[in-house]
């Protein structure tokens, strides 16, 4: 008899808290369609400095009311220990047992003097463990193309390792379109003794202008051939979506074939692009 020790792949999805009541109504229409795909959990982003605190709470509470496994993000920069403790207690009371623990970036206007009690995400991971033991499965962020503020890839890897040593259970990556960057990063992690699952973050391509802006801000490279093709479509949204779908589908296939432990989809609160990828990848099977 043979027994497989390969852990089951984890496919998850991410939402952001809408800013308006109308946005929340729309999201409530989209969530059941995404949930029908069978994701392992929904994560919900959180604005550093508490800028989306109430929206994140409302979105998380609604997901929980639907019986959906939820992983709130928690960005610690700009917060005090007391504030973070209160948020963790609030989630713990709702039966939430998974978190995405981040440093975050302070919104412009909140000066350096407001950085609060935490400097880096590893401090948040340690704090969660110190205050709540093993109550939460902790996901952290990873950067296959390296964090834009990191001094060097080696330094960034050391800092990533600090989060793992502080007790992170798994990582979700920043989105990328170079599969080799992911495989190279995972390889460096293995050589550095990091063994937690590193799940690729997948950003569907639906709007070139928005994607280019996000990518500049977060340090993701859009390979030249993809950029040129997307630019070439101009306002032709249908062609952008069709080409973007093929690019991301190919990326996901390569990642799965190469042994990625799952995929985490940045849905941008829309079910359509993720549902199409999910179906064609056969992730519900």
Return the range that interacts with ligand FAD (CB under 6 A); candidates 83-91, 156-164, 245-253, 272-280: 156-164
- Selected from 62, 120, 132, 233, the binder of ligand FAD by CB under 6 A is 120
Whichever of 198 and 240 has its CB closer to ligand FAD, that residue is 198
Whichever of 98 and 147 has its CB closer to ligand FAD, that residue is 147
Whichever of 141 and 240 has its CB closer to ligand FAD, that residue is 141
Task: Enumerate residues 178-197 that contact ligand FAD by CB under 6 A.
Answer: none
Is residue 250 left, alpha or beta, with left meaning phi > 0 and alpha meaning psi from -120 to 50? alpha
122 binds ligand FAD (CB under 6 A): yes
Helix, strand or coil for residue 145?
A: coil
CB-CB contact of 255 with 262 (8 Å): no
- Give, to the nearest 10 degrees, the angle between helix 237-257 and helix 272-281: 40
CB-CB contact of 43 with 17 (8 Å): no
CB-CB contact of 154 with 191 (8 Å): no
Whichever of 18 and 240 has its CB closer to ligand FAD, that residue is 18
Task: Enumerate residues 42-61 that contact ligand FAD by CB under 6 A.
Answer: 45-48
73 binds ligand FAD (CB under 6 A): yes
Could you confirm whether 86 is annotated as catalytic? no
Other CB atoms closer than 10 Å to residue 220's CB: what's the count? Answer: 23
Give me the least distance between CB of 46 and ligand FAD, in Å please: 5
Please count the CA atoms within 13 angstroms of the CA of 243 that sit on its side-chain side.
17
Kindly state the DSSP code that residue 206 receives in the 8-state scheme: -
CB-CB contact of 243 with 229 (8 Å): yes
- Which one from 14, 123, 139, 145 is the annotated catalytic residue? 14
174 binds ligand FAD (CB under 6 A): yes
Closest by CA position to 172, among listed 12, 57, 2: 12
Whichever of 157 and 240 has its CB closer to ligand FAD, that residue is 157
Give me the least distance between CB of 4 and ligand FAD, in Å please: 28
63 binds ligand FAD (CB under 6 A): no
241 binds ligand FAD (CB under 6 A): no
Q: How far is the C-alpha of 44 from the C-alpha of 55, rounded, in Å? A: 10
Q: DSSP assignment of 171-204, as one string?
A: EEEEE-S-HHHHHHHHHHHHHTT--S-EEEEE--
Whichever of 90 and 229 has its CB closer to ligand FAD, that residue is 90
- Selected from 9, 129, 162, 276, the binder of ligand FAD by CB under 6 A is 162
Q: Which residues touch 199 (CB under 8 Å, ≥6 apart)?
A: 10, 12, 170, 171, 172, 173, 260, 261, 262, 263, 264
- Selected from 121, 181, 252, 274, the binder of ligand FAD by CB under 6 A is 121
98 binds ligand FAD (CB under 6 A): no
- Selected from 147, 208, 240, 241, the binder of ligand FAD by CB under 6 A is 147
Residues tagged active-site: 14
Name the residues that contact ligand FAD, by CB under 6 A. Answer: 45-48, 73, 75, 100, 102-105, 120-122, 141, 147, 149-150, 156, 159, 162-163, 172, 174, 201
């Amino acid at each position: 008899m043979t027994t497989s020790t390969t852990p089951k792949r984890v496919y998850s999805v991410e939402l952001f808290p809408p800013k308006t009541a109308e946005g929340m109504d729309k999201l409530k229409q989209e969530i059941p369609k995404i949930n029908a795909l069978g994701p392992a959990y929904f994560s919900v982003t959180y604005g550093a400095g508490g800028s989306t605190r109430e929206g994140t709470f409302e979105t998380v509470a609604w997901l929980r009311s639907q019986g959906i496994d939820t992983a709130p993000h928690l960005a610690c920069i700009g917060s005090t220990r007391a504030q973070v403790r209160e948020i963790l207690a609030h989630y713990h009371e709702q039966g939430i047992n998974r978190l995405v623990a981040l440093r975050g970036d302070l919104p412009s206007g909140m000066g350096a003097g407001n950085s609060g009690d935490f400097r880096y995400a590893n401090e948040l991971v340690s704090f969660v463990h110190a205050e709540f033991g093993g109550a939460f499965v902790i996901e952290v962020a990873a950067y296959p193309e390296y964090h834009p503020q990191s001094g060097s890839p080696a330094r960034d890897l050391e800092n990533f390792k600090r989060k793992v040593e502080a007790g992170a259970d798994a990582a979700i990556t920043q989105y990328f379109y170079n599969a080799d960057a992911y495989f190279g990063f995972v390889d460096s992690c293995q050589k550095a003794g990091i063994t937690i699952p590193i799940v690729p973050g997948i950003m569907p391509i639906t709007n070139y202008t928005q994607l280019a802006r996000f990518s500049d801000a977060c340090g993701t490279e859009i390979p030249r051939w993809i950029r040129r093709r997307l630019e070439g479509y101009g306002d032709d949204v249908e062609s952008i979506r069709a080409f973007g779908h093929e690019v991301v589908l190919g990326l996901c296939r390569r990642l799965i074939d190469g042994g990625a432990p799952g995929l985490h989809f940045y849905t941008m609160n829309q079910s359509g692009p993720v549902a199409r990828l999910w179906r064609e990848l056969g992730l519900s099977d």
